[in-house]
Amino acid sequence: MKLPLLTLLSALALPLVTTAADLTSVFEGDAPKRARLKDLQDSPTPPEIKLQKWENSKPLTLADLKGKIIVLDFWATWCGPCISSIPHANEIHRKYANDVVFIGVCHPEGAEKMRETVKEKGILYPVAVDTGGKAGKDYAVNGYPDYYIIDRTGKLVVADCSNSKVEEALEILLKK
């Protein structure tokens, strides 16, 4: 049986599209808790991140990173679970460095300790201060750490990823 070329090309392209359904297993919170994210989840134009005092990198923008998967790690220097997650974040950063950019978005409270924390804890990925907390507000961050994942096309595909499921989400996205 011969398929029209357009049908064949469409069938081949389908696996390249990631839908929210592909990633529901990595979302944090139930439907009522995720309601705050309804305008963010699957946004083709997520809020721009305007961060300051970059460590381990020159200043980055989402537009600069199009073509890469981006993990925004909202964290704080005073947050025990955030500090505990650094070794795993470093591991993810190293493992997927060719395809993924991991960015630590530091809460403004305690940001004066960010540089010291980066050095003391050996953070390897880019980190910067969310001055005024604008990025945290724009992304409806409700706890720390909080992870948001943007795909290669610039679409926010995971608004608030479960902390233990970041790598699972990346594996799904890398197969696309």
pLDDT in tens, 56-93: 999 999 999 999 999 999 999 999 999 999 999 999 99
**176 vs 173: CA distance, rounded Å:** 5
Query: Which pLDDT score is estimated for 17?
Result: 47
Q: How far apart are CA 152 and CA 68, in angstroms?
A: 5
Task: Give the C-alpha separation, 48 to 55, whole Å.
Answer: 19
Could you tell me the pTM of the whole model? 0.85
Give yes or no for a contact between 150 and 46, defined as CB atoms under 8 angstroms apart. yes
* 155 pLDDT higher than 80: yes
Q: Which of 38, 144, 47 is nearest to 86 (CA)?
A: 144
Tens-place pLDDT, residues 89-117: 999 999 999 999 999 999 999 999 999 99
How does residue 30 score in pLDDT terms, banded at 50, 70 and 90? low
- pLDDT for 138 beyond 70: yes
**Single-letter residue type at 147:** Y
pLDDT band at 28 (very low <50, low <70, confident <90, very high): low
Per-domain residue ranges of the chain: 18-174
> Under a CB-based contact definition with an 8 Å cutoff, are residues 73 and 102 in contact?
yes
pLDDT cut 90: percent of the chain above it: 73
Record the tokens describing residue 168, joined without a space: 């699972």
Burial, 34: exposed, middle or buried (Cβ in 10 Å; 0-12, 13-18, 19+)? middle
Q: Which CATH architecture has domain 18-174?
A: 3-Layer(aba) Sandwich (3.40)
Asked if omega into 32 is within 30° of 0 (cis), the reply is: no
